[in-house]
Structure 1
Amino acid sequence: MAMMTPQDIQIRVHSRRGSNMIHPVSLESPQAQPAATPNPNVVIFREVKHFKKWFPWLIPSFVIANTVMFVITMYVNNCPKNSISCAARFLGRFSFQPFSENPLLGPSSSALEKMGALDVGKVVHKHEVRIGLIYLISGVGGSLLSALFIQTNISVGASGALFGLLGGMLSELITNWSIYVNKVAAFLTLVLIIAINLAVGILPHVDNFAHIGGFLSGFLLGFVFLIRPQFGWVTQRYASPGYSSTPSSRKFKAYQCILWLVSLILLIFGITVGMVTLLRGVNLNDRCSWCHYLSCVPTSRWSCNTQPVSCQAEQTGSRYTLTCSNSSKSRTYSLLNPTATQIQGLCAQLCR
């Protein structure tokens, strides 16, 4: 039975900047190589997991924000003043509506509307459901483009759908250009906001493909769903009897109809081709060698490589030769009793 020497230990790592903690994992014995003499000076370093101590602030912030909004809503509700009966009346102004009106111990529907809740009738009759469709379809478009380019990691979030709303705002401004007053200022402001948000996507660990896919989907959907009739046509249609106005022959201008048709065709074609390509298992990075820069641009401060870092180290006295398993790059270092963390750091720099 073979014994495992300290030189045979394999260490797995997930490197995180600024950390100094190593969490050991199970040891793996190296595969036996027939007709080969093992070298006791060879050490294989795989990714060593580093975890930085941090304070969980995101979820507590959401909890605090929701609690504050609930207290404000109950203050606006003021059940003792606006209702005959209240639950937990000892809370005074913050008491709840009766169970028959709100069994979840909360405010009345009128108080929720004052705080910005949606009215179903207004949503349906004022066609605000179109915004919901843009949000949902943009989320699908963003996830589709992300899946076509990023196939080795998991990406989650609603940012693709939110970028779809930005794209819809931009196309709505373009297709209804004639009805805006400060159109140039609105256009430049919107383009600046979009550019800044897309620029953030070139940072590592940000799925900018979802942002781009959602933005393009929402941009096309805005031409389809957010087209508005011309002011002259609306005036003529809703004018009071006896009021004479210049007749308007068309509800929409020619360029609006062209943008509507072209956008609808491109949207259907793009989603269909994307779904077929995804189901066939095609990786678009193989078809576009530079497209990965749209999601992450490597610099001297960060790396865009999300693959596990693996190095092989060979010791000769105080000299260590590291060889990156991913790129086969090799470099020799003069080190005096280095720790595994120090060697792993050099390995991460070598494999960048």
Structure 2
Amino acid sequence: MEETHIEIKPRMSVELTSEDEQTIPFPFFRPLSQRKENTWIISVFVILHLIAFATTMIVNDCWGNSHEQCALKQLGRFSFQPLSENLFLGPSSSALDSMGALRLRYLSNSHQLWRIFTSPCLHAGVFHLIISLCSVIFVGIHLEQEFGPLRIGLIYILSALSGSFVAALFLQDTPSVASSGALFGLLGAALSGLIRNWKVYSKKVATLVVLFIILVLNAILGLMPFVNNFSSFGGFISGLLAGFVLLFKPEVRKVYQIKGGIFDYDVKHPVKVKRKLDKPVLRTVSLVIFSLLLTGVVVAVLEGVNVNKYCSFCRYIDCVPLKWWSCNDKTMACETMVSSDQMTLTCSDNGKFRVFPYANVSQTRIEDLCNLICS
């Protein structure tokens, strides 16, 4: 009886040689199904953001605090402020303040530094939440599968906090959230991982295009109210430097040509790639620069430095005044007339007024309405 021998070639780590010119696709262009392990840390962060947003909407309680003048009233307590008040379809300014958003008055006058740690968890609204988390999931899971949850989780946290500290240096007297810092940190880490392991990866141009599109889209969102663009820039620099320190020696395995999706391997034979990827000089220099920058920013925040006093045009990096929204950072004042069943607010700045068919309104909500009328 003739015996049949079947040779099984396992996926295994290989010794990388400098002679082999073949490369593997960057993580964005590899199928997730090929590597199902190590994908929990980004999922945890996404769940925490969803919980924080749900809590924000409970605190906001548009149905009760705005007397049913809400968008999507069918959601009841979870209904949103009108688009005229929040373009992102989300909570009010006072609700963001209550949840720990960054604001000049609370950091400079009240010294509520705890807001630096809470603002990275907040989103301005549903549209901001969806775009931001989809970007985090796309970039983060691919990086996590390539470099492991511990390194990506550390970069995520460092970028979120660094971005929040940078945002605290450019605050206006309007609430702003710093959740984009973590996302831009992942984008910076992806760029540094690509640069550091340049000879390992193929599809470099496509990767740069993907990174650029995600970065520009979220930077444009940062020009709108409630989203702090300075946290994005701070997070990007933090992620870039942290990536040079941490994202070395990706787990390289023997792979074979696999077709069946957009993200395909582009090799026909087992791949051998250079293993000498660790660059101690680059790691050391990046670590020193990152430590110095972070220390300087933290000290400046603790000293109450406001960079806007020295940079008059910096405000336009965070907000561009257009027809649909203004970048007015002044605290507005309104004259309030209250009767038994209605309230009239008149803006002291421009004389505009509005009559509301209710009178029992909190002081923080009156400030929200006053800013809306004056703007």
TM-score of the superposition, structure 2-length normalised? Answer: 0.45
TM-score of the superposition, structure 1-length normalised? Answer: 0.48
Query: Relative contact order, CA 8 A, sep 6+: which one is greater?
Result: 2
